[in-house]
Each structure stands twice: as structure tokens, then as C-alpha cells.
Amino acid sequence: MKKTALLLATAIAFAGCASKPQPPSWQPNARSALDGYTDAWLHGDTPAADAEFARARRETASTGRFENVAQAELVRCAAQVAALVYECPGYAALAADASPAQQAYAAYLQGQWQGLNVALLPEQHRPVVTNGSLAGVQDPLARLVAAGALMKAGRIAPGDIVQAVDTASNQGWRRPLLAWLGVQEQRAQATGDGAAVQQIRRRIALATEAGP
């Protein structure tokens, strides 16, 4: 009797799993492609990044919904901003049909903070606008994105630049590391700190060795 009850319970459990709605395939496919894009982009592998993003774009476009494709484009924009690349033509073509939250995030990435509705931003990015600092941004990628947004807004502090360099270095993300080391180099040149310039250039040369 107990064995029969156990078999019945197991059958019911499997039936419940089988009847649980599964997300449409485009969602995990797009997420996987965007993760692959982000990883390849941050590591400096442009061909792989382009291939992964093309796959993400196809998956989201298959829905025929502007907001889904705009979201994929914003993921690409954010990863680029982490490495101080601000052109986002793919999103710009969809901006008029994007959601208010997407439009706010795009403005944030571009440093267009005047009149920005901070409440529409992802939670971890709201203090960046209100405080003008990276303090409290725990996720490494979000921290680099926030640093890029601060840079574009003209509100970056020297300590934030150091954080951006250290974050990219700790993660082994060569593309943003080289970009932020370049910022450090320019600032050291501006202050006439020749020793710092030479040390930064040695780091740039070392990081460049890892590139394709």
C-alpha cells in the first residue's frame, strides 16, 4: 500500500512538472546569446561578440515587439559604455518605440541626466545619479557601466576611475581595462606625472598581450 502511494505521489509530481508552463524558447535563447555577447565584448573578442549579438537580435526580433529588441540593444549599449564606447545606433533606431524605463536607461548611459526620472532606472543605478558616485554599486559590470555613465555626464571622480580600473582588472576584462587605463594615462599626462604615465603604459602593454 505504501509503495502504491509513493508511486502515485511520484506520478502526480511528474505530471505537475510536465504541466508547468515553459518560457517561450526565444527568451532563454536571447538571454544566452546576450550573455555570450557581453562576455566576448568585455574580453575583447569582437568577432565572437558580433556573432552572439546577431543571434540575440534574431531571437528578440522574432517576437515583432520593439521593446524586446530595444532591451537587447540596451544590453549591448551598456556593455559598450563600460568600455567608454557611447555610440548605440541599434537602440537609437528603436528609441521612439522603447518603453519609458528603457528611454530613461538610455539617457542615463549617455550622461543625459538633466530632468531624468531616476525612479525609472534599475535600482542599483539610481544612487549613481543622486550621489554622483559608484559607492554601493556591488555588481562588477554594473559598476563599470555606472563609471562610464559618470564619465559621459562629466561627473567622474578620480577615485571612481581607480575603481573602474581595478574592477576591470580583477575580472580580467581586457577591453574596459584598456579604456580606463587610457583615461588614467591622459590624466597623469595632464598633471605632468611622468612616472605614473610610464607605469600605466607598461600596464597597457601587458594587457594588450592578451588580445587577439
Segment 178-193, tens digit of pLDDT: 999 999 999 999 999 9
User: What mean pLDDT comes out for the span 22-32?
Assistant: 92
User: What mean pLDDT comes out for the span 118-144?
Assistant: 94
Count Cα neighbours of 167 within 13 Å in the Cβ-side half-sphere. 25
CA distance 185 to 105: 29
**127-132-134 Cα angle (round to 5):** 70
pLDDT (0 to 100) of residue 209: 85
What is the rounded radius of gyration, in angstroms, for the C-alpha atoms of the chain? 22
User: What mean pLDDT comes out for the span 21-42?
Assistant: 94
CA distance 179 to 176: 5
pLDDT (0 to 100) of residue 198: 97
pLDDT (tens digit per residue) in 71-97: 999 999 999 999 999 999 999 999 999
pLDDT (0 to 100) of residue 135: 87
User: What mean pLDDT comes out for the span 5-13?
Assistant: 42
Query: Is 200 exposed, middle or buried (CB count within 10 Å of its CB: 0-12, 13-18, 19+)?
Result: buried
pLDDT (0 to 100) of residue 12: 41
**142-146-151 Cα angle (round to 5):** 150
pLDDT (0 to 100) of residue 59: 97
pLDDT (0 to 100) of residue 64: 96
User: What mean pLDDT comes out for the span 142-157?
Assistant: 97
Q: Is the pLDDT of residue 111 over 50?
A: yes
pLDDT (tens digit per residue) in 193-212: 999 999 999 999 999 986 66
For the range 119-125, what are the long-range contacts, defined as Cβ-Cβ under 8 Å and sequence gap of 24 or more?
125/149
pLDDT (0 to 100) of residue 96: 96
Report the percentage of the chain scoring pLDDT > 90.
85
CA distance 97 to 172: 36
Whole-model pTM: value is 0.88
Mean pLDDT in the chain? 91
User: What mean pLDDT comes out for the span 113-121?
Assistant: 95
pLDDT (0 to 100) of residue 19: 54
CA distance 177 to 171: 9
Task: Give the end-to-end CA distance of the chain in Å, rounded to a whole number.
Answer: 66
User: What mean pLDDT comes out for the span 5-16?
Assistant: 43
